[in-house]
Amino acid sequence: MKRAPDYLTKMIEPVVSGMGYECVGVEYVSSGVHSVLRVFIDSDGGIQVNDCAKVSHQLSGFLDVDEPPIKGKYQLEVSSPGIERPLVKVEDFDRFSGQSVEVQLFDLFDGQRKFRGLLEGARGEFVCVVADGRTNEIPLNLIKKAFLIHGTSGLKEGQRNGK
């Protein structure tokens, strides 16, 4: 997920949570005329199309003010995080502990840029992923992208990191 600037996320999260939804993440891709602002929402009962429409309508009114936070034209997209839910906040790593995850890094860590395994949550400034029988404590600041792996409750015995 290409995270939006902090100021934008801090503006959007209260609007979404005020409507009774969880703001999973905010992504902003600026590319001239085709800029896109994506807001991922969730709720305990799941997300339906009408939920996305309600949040989109509310956010459009909120963002299209006299001094809009985004300069120029952009497309607003509101959707559920999907089955391979991105893990964005530190709390996400604890909340989904025990599930299979893929973590992609900006730089090499312990000789790898990708870890696949069982998520054990966050410990301070680290995310713990068990793969190949060992716990990898990955620094949060190295994480480029992390998401749940759908359809697995744990990776097969012998599956290697990043493969």
Residue ranges matching CATH 3.30.300.70 in the chain = 6-79
Radius of gyration of the chain (CA): 17
Quote the CA–CA distance of 88 and 78 in Å, as a whole number: 16
Mean pLDDT by 10 residues, the chain (163 residues): 78 95 90 84 92 95 73 86 88 94 94 95 94 92 92 45 42
In degrees and rounded to multiples of 5, residue 156 shows phi and psi of -60, 145
Output the CA angle 94-21-139, nearest 5 degrees. 25
pLDDT at 66: 58
* CATH number for the segment(s) 90-148: 2.30.30.100
Residue ranges matching CATH 2.30.30.100 in the chain = 90-148
pTM score, whole prediction? 0.74
Structural fold of domain 6-79: GMP Synthetase; Chain A, domain 3 (3.30.300)
